[in-house]
Structure 1
Amino acid sequence: MGEIDKDRLVETATRIFAELGYDGASLQMIADATGHGIGSVHQVAATKADLYREVMQHVHTAEDKAMEDAVARFTSDREGIKLLADAFLDFYAGHPQALALWQHGWMGDAADVARMDVLYVQPRSAQIADKIRDRVPPDVDPDYLVWSVMWCVYGFLNTGAVHTSDEIPHRHAPSSAPRHTDLAGFQTFLHVMIDRLFAPPPQP
């Protein structure tokens, strides 16, 4: 069916890796989904690992672009962290496939490929932590502060939250039901959490 379009291949691979994980997908499966033969795919990516790296680079580039304004306006204080947290939340709330890719990786998927979090996540988190290191109270670890924000975002978007006033959902509720219907409420909590982590410890 002619030469395969690289952007379309990466888009298709992103969807399939997000749905099935790296280990659950095959290059042939991805080729079939594009309507091209495996030979056409090999012209773009020699192996499944190469294609997976292309996908994760594409996701990282999209996140960088979405975070660009917040990074440019970042200040090394609680307001700066809130700005980054909001941009981070907005990106992953709007890109569930990117979130799913990371979720698969945390469960041990793609173990034979170099860890993407070491390549893409840790450098940024370490850079932010270093910038706020002298601005947080002495009993707050800046690395844990940055990671706590990310963990909360990932966790909320993956599983949502049940409030004590909520009705218990029916056990057969459709799995496609939205998991995070209160983004504004969660964002408010995230800001409060950041404020608390920047607050000095109470005096004895």
Structure 2
Amino acid sequence: MDAETDRLIGVATRMFAEVGYDWTSMRMIAEAAGTDVDRLVETVGEKPELYHEVMVRAVNAERAAMEPVLRSFVPGVQGALDLADAYLDYNIAHTDYLSLWLHRWTGDAADTPDLEGMFSRPLALEVAETIRELTPDDVDGDHLVWTVVWCVYGFLSGGMRHVSPDWPQKRGEPVQPGVVESFRAYLHTLIRRMIAPAG
């Protein structure tokens, strides 16, 4: 893939993450990229094709972050914590991709293919299967995986604005390291408690 195509997909990623697929036009992307619509379409295809490529990149980036930890996984509490850390760190580093999924979860791009079923669900199932033997009988491994997902997404998209004065007040500002580490410690405690046998 040439540099111009890569640049245009990057601009589209930021636009889709900012306002969602439904509200982003090809003209908006072209203007943000400093080109015209015809050139944009010629280079990256029509809007559904462009969105598909953006989402494939998001999924591939997530898998690239998680696969090394899955491959080196050693059954036990530390292995589960390592998976959670990799997922949290990936999302901190890729807030645009997180925003893309948040938009989808609220009904954005509803007329596009089932990207979750094709791309993201297999990875979630793989993680759930990896930790299944660690959870006691009264803890559903799938629910635990999604609890971590919901916590990470909620923390990074909404945070603790009414509690922590260190939380960024403007979109795009980085979360302070101390706030991240406080959340990470909480996430670790949550996982330890959910993996521990009842009683």
For the criterion TM > 0.5, the same-fold answer is: yes
Question: Aligned residues, how many?
Answer: 195
1:122-133 matches, cutoff 5 A = 122-133=121-132
Q: Deviations over 1:37-69 (max 9, x none)?
A: 222222233321110011111122222223343
Asked if the contact 1:159–1:180 (Cα under 8 Å) also holds between the matched residues in 2, the reply is no
| Most deviating of 173-182 and 131-140 | 173-182
Gaps of 5+ in 1: none
Distance 1:99 1:42, change over 3 A: same
Query: What residue number does 1:183 align with?
Result: 180
Distance 1:59 1:177, change over 3 A: closer
Q: 2:197 aligns with which of 189, 197, 200?
A: 200
Q: Shift in Å at residue 99 of structure 1?
A: 1.2
Q: Give the alignment's Cα RMSD to 1 decimal.
A: 2.4
Distance 1:30 1:176, change over 3 A: closer
TM-score, normalization by structure 1? 0.85
TM-score, normalization by structure 2? 0.87
- SS of equivalent to 1:66: helix
| Most deviating of 56-65 and 72-81 | 72-81
**Identity level (%):** 39
Moved >3 Å (runs of 4+): 173-181
- SS of equivalent to 2:108: coil
Query: What is the CA–CA distance in structure 2 between the aligned matches of 1:175 and 1:37, rounded to whole Å?
Result: 30
| Most deviating of 66-75 and 188-197 | 66-75
Gaps of 5+ in 2: none
- SS of equivalent to 1:75: coil
Q: Deviations over 1:150-174 (max 9, x none)?
A: 111111111112686x57x9xxx95
